[in-house]
Chain A
Amino acid sequence: MKKILPIAFLGAAALIFPVSVKTIFLDTPIENQMGTVQKIFYFHVPLAWIMMLLAVVCGVAAGIQLRRDSKRAEAVSIAAAELVLVTGLGVLITGPIWGHATWGKAWTWDARQVSTGLLWLIFAAYVLVRHYGAAGSERLAAALAIFGAIDVPVIYYAVKIWKTTHPSNDVAGSLPASMWAALWPALIALLLTSIAVLLIRVQQELTDVTLDEAWVDLDDAGANKLEPTPAPTSGSGDA
């Protein structure tokens, strides 16, 4: 089951992707002002939503990890954080391309741009702490993830307020219904892919934990064997 689920998700995504691409490029009208470049919107927006979702998943999992000392939650939290980086990178690359077409400028310090950037930085810090922190820093990293997840709305709100005191650009206006319709297949395909990758990564982390435990058990067994037989008294320490 653990192996089938990601494959099933990936398979479904593989089926939906061509449909989504067809809908986006052939069935949906080309936007008047921006032209074909606007098509990137259908990848940009789902990626951004998935990124936010993953950030929250990471924070919640980190909370469970801290409170319950759960290895499973820890694995989910690691996997989600790494995927936040990947999807975030996608968002931060597609965003400026779209922005360039819309506003004539790739980076405009738009509220959404900045908050995505900040969120990305927080989860980059998480991955850094996980990799380079000393023993015990997995709990510190978890706290970082929790703060990161809580920060999602705060960041957005803060940046929005910060933005209002800046000279502002017109954000792209409302889109026609046909364009929203083309968004859903893309969202589902990307979401399925993300979940599949998440599951695979979680499985990897859990295998790693199992491997560590097996190693420890083996080591313990080896140590017990090495133990010299003429133990002075009862081996337990109860006198």
Chain B
Amino acid sequence: MVALRQAWLLAVNDLRQEARDLELILTSSFFSLVVLIMLGMSFSALGVSSQPLAVPGMLWLSVAFVGALTLGRIFTREREFDTLRALLVAPVERVSIYLAKAFVTLVILLGCSFITVLGLTLLFPAAQPFAERPWATAALVLMGCTAYAGVGTLFAAGLASSSGKNVLLSVILYPLTMPSLLFALVATRSLLEGHESFTTYLGQLTATNVLAFVVGAWLFEPVLVGVPQKRSGTARAARRRR
């Protein structure tokens, strides 16, 4: 419970800072808009019959691009001011840091997805079900973005704590999030086509989310600070002393 309360404090703190300069929200949503326009221009000639096959891909590719940008930015900021280290030496559960950062990423991603979904609905007639079933769409976007935030936070934090190279973030992120995005893709397609299987797919997506978060939370501390060695190397030390 302490971990959850600390996570909440950290998340609120991050959002409060974000509210003061809106850097992440403005840059990420602008980028969403750019991606949306690029997609619109690339696929404007698409026939209505093939649109249900293309629109889900556009949505989740956009989330993938915007997500990588957002995660990179969130942790570059932490690194600029070295605040991650301050949290790591404070009496804060490490898992709380993970949960808080994942939550903030999720909030930003949801904002961006709102723009993307709205834009796709306006641009493509086949995307109308997004507007017709807003709650289903919201649940879908929430679950898809959660998967991305869960996996992404772990690796973005890991890269930020080493003197990392951010190019590696995309290298890691895209292959790893592909399964979740595939689930999201299938769910979106069934939503657009009005299949009942939508809820099943949504459930499966939720299950992968739970898995991603459990593994992510479990690995966060070992990846960021390592685990203290149980063997204190006495045999080696003795050998060295000779």
Which A residues are within 8 Å of any B CB, using their own CB?
Answer: 66-69, 118, 121-122, 124-125, 128-129, 132-137, 139-140, 142-144, 146-148, 150-151, 154-155, 157-159, 161-162, 165, 217, 220
Report the separation of the CA atoms of residues A217 and B158 in the bound assembly, to the nearest whole angstrom.
30
Interchain Cβ contacts under 8 Å between A and B, 27 examples: A66-B227, A121-B175, A121-B178, A125-B171, A125-B176, A128-B168, A128-B171, A132-B165, A133-B164, A133-B165, A135-B162, A137-B158, A137-B168, A140-B158, A140-B162, A142-B223, A147-B151, A147-B176, A150-B211, A154-B179, A157-B204, A158-B180, A158-B182, A162-B183, A162-B185, A165-B186, A165-B189
| Residues of chain B within 8 A of A118, CB atoms compared | 175, 178-179
Number of interface residues of B (CB under 8 A): 38
CB of B91 within 8 A of chain A?
no
What residue of chain B has the Cβ atom nearest to residue A139's Cβ? B223
Contact yes or no, A139 B186, CB < 8 A: no
State A162–B190 Cα separation when bound (angstroms). 10
Q: Provide the bound-state CA to CA distance between A121 and B189, in Å.
A: 25
The CA-CA distance from A69 to B233 in the complex, in Å, is 12
How far, in angstroms, from A138 to B11 measured CA to CA in the complex? 28
A67 to B218, CA, bound (A): 10
Shortest Cβ distance from residue B41 to the other chain A in the assembled complex, whole angstroms: 26
Contact B183 A158 (CB under 8 A): yes
Residue of A nearest to B157 (CB): A140
Give complex CA distance A147, B201 in Å: 21
- Chain B hits for A147, CB < 8 A: 151, 176, 215
| B19 CB-CB contact with A under 8 Å | no
Q: Are A134 and B176 in contact (CB under 8 A)?
A: no
Interface pair B215/A146, CB less than 8 Å apart: yes
Closest to B220 in A: A143
CA distance A157 to B162 in the complex (A): 34
- For residue A221, which residue of chain B has the nearest CB? B240
- Which residues on the B side are within 8 Å of A140 (C-beta)? 155, 158-159, 162, 172, 223
- A162 and B164 in contact (CB under 8 A), knowing A69-B226, A118-B175, A146-B219? no
Q: Which residues of B are found within 8 Å of A148, using beta-carbon distances?
A: 176
> Are B179 and A67 in contact, with the CB atoms below 8 A?
no
Whether the pair A122, B176 counts as a contact (CB closer than 8 A) is yes
Chain B window 188-205, contacts with chain A (Cβ cutoff 8 Å), 1 for yes, 0 for no: 011000000000010010
Check B222 for interface membership: any CB of A closer than 8 A. Answer: yes
Find out whether the CB atom of A122 lies under 8 angstroms from the CB atom of B162.
no
Interface SS, A side = helix
Given contacts A144-B155, A159-B182, contact A139 B222 (CB under 8 A): yes
Q: Is there an interface contact between A67 and B175, defined as CB atoms closer than 8 Å?
A: no
Q: Assess whether B161 is interfacial by the CB under 8 Å rule.
A: yes
Complex: A180 Cα to B164 Cα, angstroms = 49
A156's nearest neighbour on chain B, judged by CB, is B179
A128 to B170, CA, bound (A): 12
Which among B172, B226, B227, B230 has the highest number of chain A CB atoms within 10 Å? B172
CA distance A144 to B159 in the complex (A): 12
Rounded to whole angstroms, the CA-CA distance of A127 and B176 in the bound complex is: 14
Residue contact B175 to A134, C-beta cutoff 8 Å: no
Among B164, B176, B178, B186, the residue within 8 A (CB) of A144 is B176
The answer to whether B201 and A161 have CB atoms under 8 Å apart is yes
Q: Are A161 and B183 in contact (CB under 8 A)?
A: yes
Assess whether B154 is interfacial by the CB under 8 Å rule: yes
- With A69-B226, A140-B162, A143-B158 known, 10 other A-B pairs at CB within 8 A are A122-B175, A125-B172, A134-B164, A136-B161, A136-B162, A140-B158, A144-B176, A158-B182, A161-B183, A217-B240
- Check B178–A155 contact: CB distance below 8 A: yes
**Which of B161, B186, B226, B240 is packed against the most chain A CB atoms within 10 Å?**
B186
Taking CB as reference atom, which chain A residue is nearest B154? A143
Task: Give the residues in chain B near A68, CB-CB below 8 Å.
Answer: 227, 230
A66 touches which of B174, B223, B229 (Cβ 8 Å): B223
Which residues does chain A contribute within 8 Å of B155, judged by CB atoms?
A: 140, 143-144
Q: How far is the CA of A35 from the CA of B219 in the complex (A)?
A: 49
Question: Whole-angstrom distance from the CB of A47 to the nearest CB of chain B?
Answer: 20
If A140-B155, A220-B240 touch, whether A134 touches B163 (CB-CB below 8 Å) is yes
